[in-house]
Structure 1
Amino acid sequence: MIRSRLAPAKVNLYLHVAAPDARRYHPLQSLVMFADIGDEVTLTGQGGLTIDGPFGDGLSTGEDNLIVKAVRRFEAATSVTVDTGLHLTKNLPVASGLGGGSADAGAALHLLRCAFAPDMPDRDLEAIAATIGADGVMCLWNRSAFAEGYGEILRPVVMPQLPGVLINPMVECSTAAVYNGFDHLARFDEIEAKALFDGAEDVVATLRHTRNDLEPAAIRLQPVIADILTSLDAQPQTLLARMSGSGATCFALCATSEAAEILSRRMQALWPTAWVRACTLR
């Protein structure tokens, strides 16, 4: 039985966001990939949720934690009482635009199915994940995809592996605050971009025709994000630099894993208090 699972960081290679609709929700389109680094979720012998790791301090282990929410939704859907515990090793910064909480919940659901309901169809597990949040399903499967609707409509896409670097300046970006700032700026543009990637051989060149619409609002909230992006753009290893999600994590794409390692070391030297990791997006 699988007892541990990676909850990988989600990276939005682009994020186009429309004006809020009648429900006050924002239709969007994004191309998401997942890194080979992230949090780790483990089944344990004790009941309840425990947390450690470099970013575990102060995190709730109560009903507001998405892992606990996933357990409750799993129990309700299966009529099973989960009598084991779950442990989260929190390796990703909190409120960082990397989908950490949803990825943690997705990893927990995989472990729970394996332990308590091995015959549960994927569609049923997906239905539970969908109740966790708009990105619950994408963070359950951890597969490259175009996300549309409010993030819940997914079209899988085959992408090459992309070496890169993630950097977070150790400031939190509230998703709600960033969206509020986005609405205040009222800079709404067309969100459709999938057609750009049909037959595209150079992903980076194609991505230059896209954007992250939340960047300006996030920068107003945390100006250091602009400094990080400027710093990344100045490095010869960087092919493309952009913010992920609602921030504050930024990423750079590189030509090779070796270039990503060099860039990672360079950025750690330039930003000694930041969280910096080389990775591969898949």
Structure 2
Amino acid sequence: MKSFCVKAPAKINLFLHIVEKKETGYHLIEGLFVFANLSNFLEIKVGEKDFRYDNSIVEFVNSELRISNKYNTIMRAINLLLRYAPVRAKVTVKVVKNIPIAAGLGSGSSDAGAVIRTLGKLWEIEKSILNEIALSVGADVPASVDSKPVLVRGIGEELHPIKEFSLPTNVVLVKPKKKFLSTPEVFSKYAGNFSKPIKWDGNAERNLLKLLKETRNDLQKIAISLVPEINDMILALESQKGSVLSRMSGSGVACFGMFDSEENAKAAAANIRDKQPEWWVCDTQLIV
């Protein structure tokens, strides 16, 4: 048996534009994804040769909501990866959930990305195949395989790695403890005008903060209409000393605040946690 202990870092959407809707119902997006030190922890064990088709096991620990052990992003990734494994093997995954789920922080996507990254390397599966598997599991999963700053386009399959990361790396994450949002529900309610694709070149990459301030999260108004506290969280983050930029991440209830120093980020987190005990608050750093 082979055993691996890996991290699945939180994903933060620094901006999210909806640029088109296909006849299939899929929305084409454009966004800047970054990843944080806040992580789920996965213990992945790969057993000996086993020809049964229902033998893999996934166990979740510390999750806010109950997650099916059979129908989840990890199990979908394992079943697809096993088609390319040298032998049919039993895979057991134990997940300690530290990233809130249904919050726009990619908790499930990052879990799947970590499994694809780990088993793909173990079984020497080609990168192009891993990308196809990741997209089959979920739109955010391709970016979560490498978990590095990236501009994402299409339905999540078009990745442009960020070579010059020029943003502050200290962030504070906030969400209501008992509020969740469904990604399909939020996207289904989007009826606004489509955003024009941004001009992405070397100048844009060198001036990421300027670019961010010219962008937005197209799903934010819809999410606020469903969970008004999102607006309160953004205002709370913006009011803190050293605040650089605050908005909602992805299609969930979590919001991020970017700060100019670790000291100000920690102070902001403490202030918000003290005033809003019903909110989950976490200060962390971006992985660059």
TM-score (norm 2): 0.88
What is the CA deviation profile of residues 235-271 of structure 1, one whole-angstrom value per residue up to 9, with x for unaligned ones?
Answer: 1221111000002110000011221111111111122
2:106 match:
99
Question: Runs of 5+ in structure 1 lacking a partner?
Answer: none
1:146 equivalent in alignment to 2:189: no
Pick the aligned partner of 2:60 from 51, 61, 70: 51
What is the CA deviation profile of residues 85-126 of structure 1, one whole-angstrom value per residue up to 9, with x for unaligned ones?
Answer: 1101111111010111111011112232344x1x33333322
2:189 match:
181
Paired residues for 1:212-227 under 5 Å:
212-227=217-232
Secondary structure of the 2:129 match is helix
How large is the Cα RMSD of the aligned pairs? 2.1
The answer to whether the 8 A contact 2:19-2:197 is kept is no
1:253 match:
258
Which deviates the most, 125-134 or 263-272?
Answer: 125-134
2:79 match:
72
In 1, Cα distance between equivalents of 2:204 and 2:245: 20
Secondary structure of the 2:39 match is strand
What is the CA deviation profile of residues 32-69 of structure 1, one whole-angstrom value per residue up to 9, with x for unaligned ones?
Answer: 1111112111124785111102x25511111x211011
1:4 match:
5
In 2, Cα distance between equivalents of 1:16 and 1:191: 8
- Specify the code of the residue in structure 2 equivalent to 1:107: A
Question: Runs of 5+ in structure 2 lacking a partner?
Answer: 48-55
What is the CA deviation profile of residues 15-47 of structure 1, one whole-angstrom value per residue up to 9, with x for unaligned ones?
Answer: 111342322221111011111112111124785
Which deviates the most, 204-213 or 27-36?
Answer: 204-213
In 2, Cα distance between equivalents of 1:153 and 1:16: 14
The answer to whether the 8 A contact 1:19-1:188 is kept is no
1:163 match:
170
When residues 23 and 114 of structure 1 are mapped into structure 2, their CA distance, relative to the original with a 3 A threshold, is closer
Q: Percent identity?
A: 29
Secondary structure of the 2:27 match is coil
2:22 match:
21
1:243 match:
248
What is the CA deviation profile of residues 204-243 of structure 1, one whole-angstrom value per residue up to 9, with x for unaligned ones?
Answer: 3431111000000000111110111111111122111100
- Specify the code of the residue in structure 2 equivalent to 1:105: A
- Specify the code of the residue in structure 1 equivalent to 2:162: V
**Which structure has more strand as a fraction of its residues?**
2
The answer to whether the 8 A contact 2:9-2:38 is kept is yes
TM-score (norm 1): 0.90
In 2, Cα distance between equivalents of 1:254 and 1:197: 24
The answer to whether the 8 A contact 1:71-1:82 is kept is no
What is the CA deviation profile of residues 138-191 of structure 1, one whole-angstrom value per residue up to 9, with x for unaligned ones?
Answer: 1111111111111211111121352111111121011111112222xxx21433
In 2, Cα distance between equivalents of 1:206 and 1:238: 17
Q: How many corresponding residue pairs? A: 275
When residues 196 and 217 of structure 1 are mapped into structure 2, their CA distance, relative to the original with a 3 A threshold, is farther
